[in-house]
Amino acid sequence: MTGLHFCPATSGGYGIVRTGADIPESQILMASSNACGRHISISSFDAGYRDRISFYVVDESEIFLGTVEDGLAEAASHIIGTRHPRILLVYVCCSTYMAGLDNDRLRRRIKRANAGTEVQIMDMNPIAAGTSNPPAVATQRKILDLLDFSGDRKDAVNLLGSDMPPMEGCEIYGLLGKEGIAVRHLGLCRTWEEFLGMGSSSLNVVLSAKAMAAAKELEHRVRCHPALPSYLVEKAVQDYNAILGHFGKTADLTEYIDRTRSRIQKAVDSVDGMTITVGSTATERPFSLARALYDYGFDVRSVFHNGIPVSERANLEYLRSNIPGLMVFDCGEPSMSSRIGKCARSDIAIGFNAAYFTGTEHMVDIVQDMGMFGFHGIDTLMARIEEASRRTSVLSEVVERANLVI
């Protein structure tokens, strides 16, 4: 990230601290200045993990004297001794780096003083946002680093990177379960042992780009299959064929294909005459989603993004060559602060930031592809597009319910 950057009220997400809180039987120690701690404290109340997080406020004297490590080690031992977690995650923020904190040394020190409790130091450094190891990517690496992938393999797949597992009604559970293949996701683990059990899976299925680097680094032990967010029927078929094929299995997907194509056509007919805009708060691949919708027959007019990765450039060029007048907006561009509610008016907005900048009251409530996978994900999207076309929403209320962390 370089230069001035606009941070709109809809720019938040699940948050890397909440991701850590998903590890069962964990406690969190947040080392930060007052402002960051206050922000995370509010978020933890909203997300329901306030009883599992503690705060160590770093003041200026500790930075000058270099005593942050001593204070953190003492605080960590107190939490472990009183709350008895299986793992303590220590999140260190920007201010701790000014004190010259050595993360590896801190981890070793806490583990020596608290035998039997796992410890992981988690970086919360926004300055790394523009590097190859931003906080979200680093968090996935640290979580997978806790697992032992060196043992025997079992008939199970890990779903990596997504903030939530596929919704309960998703066909993945039935398709794989029928073949004796277990589906594992951080959000499905209820105990520390269940979490550690992810290390015995035979296949890592990557559902988000932020977990790709970590999965690739483990590929010499566990094969990985990229299944990044997509709302294409063909991609759902490819993903299931690849996952089942890894175990030497096949499945007849005709019923799912026909049902989903019918669902898509029903949604297209339902919103005929209405224009659509796509935003990056709905999906990490907004141009891919916009392309899928255009190919299905929806009238896509604009896309709001927070940076265009290499993997999305072909989708952007395809849209520009097929949709005359397509409007593309970078939500972080400073000039966007004066364009709230005034950009590319559309009838239906998919994503909070698309609704925020266009001012439409017809909004599809999807956040960062959460729970969306396979045919069920496409079916759910179509149902929500239809629903949004029939009702209006108050953006501020929907954003508040989503518990976004900015």
The pLDDT value recorded for residue 3 is 63
CA 405 to chain centre: 12
Q: What is the CATH number of domain 263-401?
A: 3.40.50
CA 288 to chain centre: 17
pLDDT per position as a tens digit, 276-334:
999 999 999 999 999 999 999 999 999 999 989 999 999 999 999 999 999 999 998 99
The pLDDT value recorded for residue 86 is 98
The pLDDT value recorded for residue 401 is 74
In order along the chain (406 residues), what is the average pLDDT of each group of 10 residues?
A: 66 81 96 79 83 90 82 96 97 80 93 96 80 89 93 95 96 98 97 96 97 95 95 98 98 98 98 96 96 98 94 96 96 89 91 92 93 98 97 83 66
Q: What is the CATH number of domain 16-144?
A: 3.40.50.1980
Nearest Cα to 195, choosing from 378, 405, 19, 4?
Answer: 19
Q: Do domains 154-246 and 263-401 have the same CATH topology?
A: yes
Q: Parse the chain into domains and list their residue ranges.
A: 16-144, 154-246, 263-401
The pLDDT value recorded for residue 15 is 83
Which CATH fold would you assign to the domain 154-246? Rossmann fold (3.40.50)
The pLDDT value recorded for residue 16 is 87
Q: What is the pTM of this model?
A: 0.92
pLDDT per position as a tens digit, 144-172:
999 999 889 999 999 999 999 999 999 99
- C-alpha–C-alpha distance, residues 238 and 251, integer Å: 12
The C-alpha angle 119, 125, 129, rounded to 5 degrees, equals 125
Q: Which residue has the tokens 């997080």?
A: 53
The pLDDT value recorded for residue 227 is 96
